[in-house]
A and B are shown apart, each in its own frame.
Chain A
Amino acid sequence: IAGITQAPTSQILAAGRRMTLRCTQDMRHNAMYWYRQDLGLGLRLIHYSNTAGTTGKGEVPDGYSVSRANTDDFPLTLASAVPSQTSVYFCASSDSSGGSNEQFFGPGTRLTVL
């Protein structure tokens, strides 16, 4: 692995189902993020984690949960999917310890909730 990976690449999901989007990075970055991107709305922050063991809510956290059990993984869970959660989901990571503001993004997961 080189960088940040997401799985699945795309998914069609029935409303009401539970879904976990996976995100893994091998850069040993302390901080990780989840964003959703919808046409005309740009990227919106869902949840973030500044370091393993801690998480925080972003702009649009409702309906989503995250965990950060270790440095490398930051899964995003939709407990009961709804059609409004149809979106492209991007995971990102950064090394904030040195003051860098550069975030590295994964390739995204395209989720459709029917």
Chain B
Amino acid sequence: GQSLEQPSEVTAVEGAIVQINCTYQTSGFYGLSWYQQHDGGAPTFLSYNGLDGLEETGRFSSFLSRSDSYGYLLLQELQMKDSASYFCAVRANQAGTALIFGKGTTLSVSS
């Protein structure tokens, strides 16, 4: 089966940089994704890493090391609106793109 571990909470101040780590155990690996969810809302896709290395999208970057079964989401120049929950996820199986999610990290950004 699959399991993912990520911190439950992270706090930071506006303008800072924060890193949210994710370690995973999977029977087969088909990429690591990150999703953002504001309180009560629908999750939205942030990034995907299929290969080792860094993927950058504006203020957000995501990193993957397959040999370490580890990835992280890096948020730069934090803004109040970045306060949300962040989930890492892996594909459930090879046959499709259903995801298994971590339990989520709640990021609180203060001024």
Contact = CB atoms under 8 A, between A and B. Distances in A.
Interface string B16-49: 0000000000000001010100001111110010
A45 B97 CA distance: 11
Q: Which of B33, B40, B87, B101 has the most CB of A within 10 A?
A: B101
A65 interface: no
A48 to B, nearest CB: 4
Contacts of A103: 35, 43, 45, 97, 99
Interface string A30-61: 01010100001111110010100000101100
Contact of A96 (B40, B42, B97): B97
A45 B42 contact: no
Contact of A44 (B40, B45, B48, B101): B101
Contact of A48 (B41, B50, B89, B98): B98
A45 B91 contact: no
A90 interface: yes
A45 B100 contact: yes
B92 interface: yes
Contacts of A107: 41-42
Interface of A: 31, 33, 35, 40-45, 48, 50, 56, 58-59, 90, 92, 94, 96, 100-108
Given A33-B98, A43-B43, A45-B101, 15 more contacts: A31-B97, A42-B104, A43-B104, A45-B92, A48-B92, A56-B96, A90-B42, A101-B33, A101-B48, A101-B97, A102-B45, A103-B99, A105-B44, A106-B42, A108-B40
22 contacts: A31-B98, A42-B102, A42-B103, A43-B87, A45-B98, A48-B92, A48-B96, A48-B98, A56-B95, A56-B96, A58-B98, A59-B100, A94-B97, A100-B97, A102-B45, A103-B35, A103-B43, A103-B97, A103-B99, A105-B44, A106-B42, A107-B41
